[in-house]
Structure 1
Amino acid sequence: MIISQGGEKRVLQSAGLQVDLAVIGGGVSGTCAAITAAREGLKVVLVQDRPVLGGNASSEVRLWMLGATSHMGNNNRWAREGGVVDELMVENVYRNPEGNPLIFDMVLLDKVVAEPNITLLLNTAVYDVEKSSADEISSVKAFCSQNSTEYIITAPLFCDASGDGIVAFLAGAAFRMGAESKEEFGELFAPTKEYGELLGHSLYFYSKDTGKPVKFVAPSYALDDITKVPRFRNFNAKEYGCKLWWLEYGGRLDTVHDTEKIKWELWKVAYGAWNYIKNSGNFPEAENLTLEWIGTIPGKRESRRFEGEYIIKQQDVVQQHLHDDAVAFGGWSIDLHPADGVFSEKPGCNQWHGKGIYQIPYRSLYSRNIKNLFLAGRIISATHVAFGSTRVMATAAHAAQAVAMAAKICKDRKILPADVYHQGFITELQIALLRTGHHIPNVVLDDPEDLVGTAVVTASSELLLDELPEAGLLRPLEFSIAQMIPLKKGKCGTFSFHAESEEATELEVQFRVSEKSTNHTPEIILDKIILPVNAGRNELRLQFDVEMKDEAYAFVTFMKNPKIKLHFSNKRVTGILSVFNSINKAVSNFGKQTPPADIGVDEFEFWCPKRRPEGQNVAFKYEPGIDAFQASNITNGIDRPAAATNAWVADWNDENPTITIDWKETKTIKRIEILFDTDYDHPMESVLMGHPEHVMPFCVRDYVIKDGEGKVIFSKTDNYQTRNIIELDQPVNTKSLAISLVHPSADVPAALFSVRCY
């Protein structure tokens, strides 16, 4: 029993924490940074001012986590982010293919609490910063509303992933808020003040069918005249959650300090919209629907952007500039919204895509004037225009992993964030990232510690893809269709396809490639053939007069003709896709991007895959066969398709697909890492959108590893993750390893991207 007579002023209970890295902000970026750093041996505190992790991806906001894949609506093939980002998304699809936001909360928490090096503080908000000098933070103060405790967190390194940049702001870090002029960075897409200088917040609602009529009485603060929303006719009884991304407001206000005011305005609109759906009489299908959930905090898009040594600009995104300190990538469109949001007469967004993914430099990930402060999430160093792309969650989290890995180098070498660049440790940083399955476009892993790099690698078989057989599946050419085929440098072989038509017609087939070999926008036509097509079944033999200048993907492109049906195959192979010149309005894809001439954005066509269970390949034969799946690919330093498949794929008929790694001398192996194919082309939206399977069809589920004497040293069943890390109980001394895989299915041959041994 406690009895206090009172009288004297009291102080809060206080707790001190000393860590290697303090990560402030538990959105997806902060979460990925914390996990990455903890796995590298750093002692980390993760401070989150909300009761759950995930930020805008959490159940509190319910926006899908996305990045460069952009709902498969752009030309960025195999562009899902790697490392911990990939691990989280694959895990979520495995546990949560329905897209339940509560389950995604669970996945994030589960991954964080599994790391003994992370101290997690939920419901804890930083409110003060102490500095040891004008340009260095010594500690931060935070308060937990649930246990009434003040935390004083001391660290040599801080990472601000808080969204509004609370630590960076309090510490005096240089920042920007609002849009730059066209003249400052030469950005032709820089918006006028009339369009707006800030993106607003959004707030969503969910509905549920109760099976019986439900009445709705609107609150007094609901918007009483829904026609004040120019796009009010877009509201309907079927769309809910983040499909209502355009329910946005606040771009004319202070998106930090006016957030509560913005929230109330969004509540007015959301409740007014639901009142309109339920009570206008225009939606009889809504009679049994109830309002199951409505957001209580808005999802923020933009506030402060902090200055690093390099500010990413429009040209970096569109022209895909290369940086010697590249550590991550982006690929979402430059996606700017009118500042008036839902009350604007303008379209809800203005998206302009690039032809491929772009590099994110390390110099944009730390403050230029606070020397021990990393930047992560949407606050990284970018102009307002470039921020339109870098701000999305998976892109931001991918860059945050680079911050965490840099923190490891800082600790080990007793240096500060900028020193990683200026003292020449970028290659070390890139190697450390790529080892984890992280991807950096145009950067190849050359790992001096990987024992496989000195071995001879052979396989029981290597797929020579000479045919994708027909499956009785016919599709009309309602859209132009292209089959992506990885080809090596040299003269093109002969293709054979089968088509059917009810009447005589003609078919134009083009041979296309991308201007850049690592892109997948087929904008260059090298040859075209016009073939007569007779009524009935036709064999089409194509010998294009082309020679590949470099190893790259070719696009055998069948131009639109609804009279013709092509045969498709049920066989799927790593790094092989069919793409369609179709439309995806959700990401402003109308088949072709035709920008105004004066905004600095390219004109090009969109060629995108279909989602499974569709997405079958065009059935074809190719002479002399596609030789793109060699065992040597597992040591080429690229762990996903890019200009080539970069994978070893076994022959369909190999009953025991095995890759063998031989050394001249005995090696001591403590750790084995294997990267499998979990379909980097699938965006794996974290919430709302369901997925047709919980394990990707290309992923090897079962495998066995044996040493040179045939002894089993490890076996795995029911694998579903990309990166498998095998820490051996006892080091193995051997001159050889054999890894035997089981084909994922009769229609998908076994494949893997890399094997590394340490």
Structure 2
Amino acid sequence: MMIKEQFSEKRDPRTEHLEAELVVVGGGLAGVCAAITAARTGVRVILVQDRPLLGGNASSEIRLWILGATSHMGNNNRWAREGGMVDEILVENMWRNPEGNPVIFDTILLEKVSQEANIHLLLNTVVYDLEKQAPDVISRVTAFCSQNSIRYILSAPFFCDASGDGIVAFQAGAAFRMGAEIASEFGEKFAPSQDYGELLGHSLYFYSKDTGVPVTFVPPAYALENITDIPRYRRLNAREQGCQLWWIEYGGRLDTVHDTEKIKWELWKVIYGVWDHIKNSGQFPEAETLTLEWVGMIPGKRESRRFEGDYILTQQDVVEQRTHADAVAFGGWSIDLHPADGVFSEKPACNQWHSKGIYQIPYRCLYSRNLRNLFLAGRIISVSHVAFGSSRVMATGAYAGQAAAMAAVLCLREKLEPRQLLEPPHMQHLQTALLKIGQFIPGLALHDDKDLVLQATLQASSEYVLQALPADGSYISLADASGQMLPLPAGPVPGITVYALATEDTWLDVELRTTSTVSHHTPDVTLQTLRLPLTKGVQPVPLVFHTTLARAGYVFICFGKNNLVSLQTSSLRMTGVLSVFNKTNPAVSNFGKQEPPDNIGMDAFEFWCPERRPGGKNLALQLSQGIAAFGVENIRNGINRPVLQPNAWLADPADPAPSLTITWEQPQAIREVALAFDTDWDHPMESVLMGHPERTMPFCVKAFTLQDEAGNILYQTTDNHQTLRHITLASPVSTRQLTLRITHMQGAVPPGLFGVRCYA
């Protein structure tokens, strides 16, 4: 159809008015998780993204791996991967994309959003204006799509700003901060000096490819000519690519919002100069056949604006793991600050200091203190610059975004304003709603009065009792100190026998350790030490501890470094039992022991971390008294990951037909069943670049059947790999009994799960 129009003085773009219950601005990981979390409750959501792909820094446009509290398994935060929607995404990416292909990760995010009927997704659409119905109430935002030339006017009772720079919060006039607070404002001893700088810069990455034949590289005219302008050039090599080059950073001395294009050009100069040096300096002969396959077009931002809520999270909250009545999420990345001069700085590329454990994030950080209908998600939440050094990473930002979205849902349902959710009954409602979708909140357990399992009798075909970790004929050298984490009840520590191989007569140094508080897994309290003589050869070594534990929890059997000694290992793996090692992980500033200066407010402690599979076998041992920590009652204790105890029901590995039966005195009308499986909360599941040898976690149930009392199959699957399974039956089933039969695991491990909930 031909269109012909005469001259007019001015034309407006085509305009569409869209209404929803929640508008989420920003399609990075925080915005995606927030939008899906709200949409799955039935809330109508508009998700606005200014770029062609979802994921923000995690997308193939930038290619940063998703990390959070697990910190590459390089800290003491055991079983600390974030739950809920971000967990679902990471687990699915492991299943489909263990190679870490960023393009495949794009498809997973797009699929997750597109499958939600309650989400209206607008890509390539930039929010640039807004209107208010009152000084503290946003009524609508205006956006423009560069691809279809449509102006959108988006109206909703609530908005969530997950845009990274806070475009909605900024234009709405919300109080914000940019740069670092001085140390005296919050008493933060790690507050940076002016010399160090107050902002973190942007980064761009590149990928290379081996063609198998020599490749010539002619740099563009704008490439940095003098590589020595970059003090860090000495760390260059031809092997690193992608976000391994996180240290190619610039912009911390500039306006990281309005100078982004200027920063991008400087980073392009650096990258092409770096590649010119790798290809043409003669110092990297291994690069002869490499070609430059991809260079980022959009810089990955670390820091810009932070908006003020009713609480500002500080260094002390992170380091001391302070508790908050309104806790809705957690963080655990190190406090990770970078010099503002970035790649041009003579200072170390980062300044990372870890806390002993994960810390709570309060709900008061997730809404603007000035606006009555604006939630905050991602890196713009209410934190100080120092605390931001930890909370800024993507998995943490997404996790807080999930909490903000659920808060918006409750505000819609109950006709409340964000601040009103702080009232104890509403806060308990919010925390319960989050726990039900897999949002672990440190210190809280799910107790849902509507859960019919709480009134039932539980019976398992068997319950695993850990008597031994049987030796498999392999050994691990004590070239590094090694340890075994065991969940023990309160009372006397049982006798433990390990099996050592000594190349000559020597000593085995052993420490029995535990944690100073229940809020972390750092073995910072030594209960008893042993020094035991070894003779040359293989021998059993009895460990007798005259120690009584005041509380149940994990103990660490730590074996000191000795190059003359190896310990036998066990191939038996199970939920909630781990070996740990006092090694180093320079990627996260783990050098075996954290020894901060006295004046920066950080703790000194040792790192005892697991190894990734196929490494990280348990240490072989025999117990004088079995550990009965895997009983069936664990499935309704409301904690779906190991914390002080494994919190899982495990069947005996010899059980030929593992099953769990839930029985009620009277018939119940069951409509929904929720199952919580173990997808290894210790695994970081880095989303891109870093390949993984596994697609599934060995502790996860692969195949199961759910039956009623008559043996009718209500649900069955043979290909489960996800953490949570929400089973909704077509119509309620009246039964006095449900039986879950586990027919196959993903690995050779004791079968079991964390939780079962049933609803009418």
Q: TM-score, normalised by structure 1?
A: 0.99
Return the alpha-carbon distance in structure 2 between the equivalents of residues 729 and 422 of structure 1: 37
Deviations 1:291-318, CA, capped at 9 Å, x for gaps: 0000001000000000000000000000
The residue number in structure 2 matching 1:160 is: 161
Return the alpha-carbon distance in structure 1 between the equivalents of residues 123 and 473 of structure 2: 55
Return the alpha-carbon distance in structure 2 between the equivalents of residues 328 and 551 of structure 1: 25
Matched residue SS, 1:316: helix
AA aligned opposite 2:612: R
Return the alpha-carbon distance in structure 1 between the equivalents of residues 606 and 383 of structure 2: 27
Return the alpha-carbon distance in structure 1 between the equivalents of residues 146 and 747 of structure 2: 55
- Aligned ranges 1:234-253 → 2 under 5 Å: 234-253=235-254
AA aligned opposite 1:684: M
In percent, how many aligned pairs have the same letter? 61
- Deviation of the 1:437 alpha carbon: 1.1
1:570–1:747 Cα contact (<8 Å) kept: no
The residue number in structure 2 matching 1:52 is: 53
Deviations 1:231-282, CA, capped at 9 Å, x for gaps: 1011111000000000000000000000000000000000000000011111
The residue number in structure 1 matching 2:93 is: 92
Return the alpha-carbon distance in structure 2 between the equivalents of residues 746 and 184 of structure 1: 52
The residue number in structure 1 matching 2:488 is: 487
AA aligned opposite 1:575: G
- Deviation of the 1:320 alpha carbon: 0.2
2:697–2:746 Cα contact (<8 Å) kept: no
Return the alpha-carbon distance in structure 2 between the equivalents of residues 275 and 166 of structure 1: 37
The residue number in structure 2 matching 1:444 is: 445
1:517–1:550 Cα contact (<8 Å) kept: no
- Deviation of the 1:4 alpha carbon: 2.2
Matched residue SS, 2:193: coil
Return the alpha-carbon distance in structure 2 between the equivalents of residues 210 and 363 of structure 1: 53
The residue number in structure 2 matching 1:537 is: 538
- Aligned ranges 1:575-586 → 2 under 5 Å: 575-586=576-587
Matched residue SS, 1:701: strand
The residue number in structure 1 matching 2:698 is: 697
Return the alpha-carbon distance in structure 2 between the equivalents of residues 87 and 327 of structure 1: 18
Return the alpha-carbon distance in structure 2 between the equivalents of residues 745 and 20 of structure 1: 40
Matched residue SS, 1:274: helix
Deviations 1:617-642, CA, capped at 9 Å, x for gaps: 00111121111100000000100000
The residue number in structure 2 matching 1:587 is: 588
- Deviation of the 1:109 alpha carbon: 0.4
2:49–2:123 Cα contact (<8 Å) kept: yes
The residue number in structure 2 matching 1:355 is: 356
1:78 aligns with 2:79: yes
AA aligned opposite 1:134: P
- Deviation of the 1:746 alpha carbon: 6.8
| Count of residue pairs the alignment pairs up | 758
Matched residue SS, 2:274: helix
The residue number in structure 1 matching 2:665 is: 664
Return the alpha-carbon distance in structure 2 between the equivalents of residues 103 and 547 of structure 1: 52
AA aligned opposite 2:440: H
1:512 aligns with 2:513: yes
Matched residue SS, 1:275: helix
Return the alpha-carbon distance in structure 2 between the equivalents of residues 8 and 669 of structure 1: 66
Return the alpha-carbon distance in structure 1 between the equivalents of residues 743 and 596 of structure 2: 48
The residue number in structure 1 matching 2:37 is: 36
Return the alpha-carbon distance in structure 1 between the equivalents of residues 25 and 669 of structure 2: 40
Matched residue SS, 2:291: strand
- Deviation of the 1:475 alpha carbon: 1.1
Return the alpha-carbon distance in structure 2 between the equivalents of residues 359 and 267 of structure 1: 38
AA aligned opposite 2:728: E
AA aligned opposite 1:354: S
AA aligned opposite 1:471: D
Return the alpha-carbon distance in structure 1 between the equivalents of residues 694 and 313 of structure 2: 37
The residue number in structure 2 matching 1:209 is: 210
Matched residue SS, 1:485: strand
- Aligned ranges 1:143-222 → 2 under 5 Å: 143-222=144-223
AA aligned opposite 1:358: Y
1:616 aligns with 2:617: yes
AA aligned opposite 2:556: F
AA aligned opposite 2:510: V
Return the alpha-carbon distance in structure 2 between the equivalents of residues 539 and 513 of structure 1: 24
Distance 1:745 1:364, change over 3 A: closer
Return the alpha-carbon distance in structure 1 between the equivalents of residues 424 and 477 of structure 2: 58
The residue number in structure 2 matching 1:304 is: 305
- Deviation of the 1:211 alpha carbon: 1.1
1:136 aligns with 2:137: yes
1:465–1:627 Cα contact (<8 Å) kept: yes
Return the alpha-carbon distance in structure 2 between the equivalents of residues 86 and 348 of structure 1: 30
Deviations 1:112-133, CA, capped at 9 Å, x for gaps: 0000000000000000010111
The residue number in structure 2 matching 1:459 is: 460
Return the alpha-carbon distance in structure 2 between the equivalents of residues 151 and 176 of structure 1: 29
- Deviation of the 1:8 alpha carbon: 3.0
Return the alpha-carbon distance in structure 1 between the equivalents of residues 325 and 222 of structure 2: 54
Return the alpha-carbon distance in structure 1 between the equivalents of residues 9 and 344 of structure 2: 52
Deviations 1:434-468, CA, capped at 9 Å, x for gaps: 00111000011111111101111111101001011
Return the alpha-carbon distance in structure 1 between the equivalents of residues 583 and 695 of structure 2: 26
1:702–1:717 Cα contact (<8 Å) kept: yes
The residue number in structure 1 matching 2:267 is: 266
1:61–1:297 Cα contact (<8 Å) kept: yes
Distance 1:481 1:120, change over 3 A: same
- Deviation of the 1:37 alpha carbon: 0.2
1:518–1:552 Cα contact (<8 Å) kept: no
- Deviation of the 1:708 alpha carbon: 1.3
1:517–1:553 Cα contact (<8 Å) kept: no
1:575–1:641 Cα contact (<8 Å) kept: yes
1:328–1:361 Cα contact (<8 Å) kept: yes
AA aligned opposite 1:460: S
Deviates more, 1:389-398 or 1:727-736: 727-736
Matched residue SS, 2:579: strand
- Deviation of the 1:608 alpha carbon: 0.5
- Deviation of the 1:528 alpha carbon: 1.1
Matched residue SS, 1:22: strand
AA aligned opposite 1:362: Y
Matched residue SS, 1:238: coil
The residue number in structure 2 matching 1:382 is: 383
- Deviation of the 1:580 alpha carbon: 0.2
Return the alpha-carbon distance in structure 2 between the equivalents of residues 136 and 100 of structure 1: 42
Return the alpha-carbon distance in structure 2 between the equivalents of residues 746 and 341 of structure 1: 44
Return the alpha-carbon distance in structure 1 between the equivalents of residues 436 and 489 of structure 2: 26
AA aligned opposite 1:281: G
Return the alpha-carbon distance in structure 1 between the equivalents of residues 503 and 283 of structure 2: 44
The residue number in structure 1 matching 2:727 is: 726
Deviations 1:138-186, CA, capped at 9 Å, x for gaps: 0000000000000000000000000000000000000000000100000
AA aligned opposite 1:56: N
- Aligned ranges 1:546-561 → 2 under 5 Å: 546-561=547-562
Q: TM-score, normalised by structure 2?
A: 0.99
- Aligned ranges 1:333-348 → 2 under 5 Å: 333-348=334-349
- Deviation of the 1:45 alpha carbon: 0.3
Matched residue SS, 1:607: coil
- Aligned ranges 1:119-134 → 2 under 5 Å: 119-134=120-135
AA aligned opposite 1:93: M
The residue number in structure 2 matching 1:104 is: 105
- Deviation of the 1:424 alpha carbon: 3.8
The residue number in structure 2 matching 1:522 is: 523
Distance 1:533 1:747, change over 3 A: farther
- Aligned ranges 1:411-422 → 2 under 5 Å: 411-422=412-423
Matched residue SS, 1:742: strand
1:643 aligns with 2:644: yes
Distance 1:317 1:26, change over 3 A: same
Deviates more, 1:337-346 or 1:517-526: 517-526
Return the alpha-carbon distance in structure 1 between the equivalents of residues 746 and 244 of structure 2: 35
1:517–1:551 Cα contact (<8 Å) kept: no
Distance 1:718 1:423, change over 3 A: closer
Return the alpha-carbon distance in structure 2 between the equivalents of residues 457 and 354 of structure 1: 39
Matched residue SS, 1:651: coil
- Deviation of the 1:743 alpha carbon: 4.5
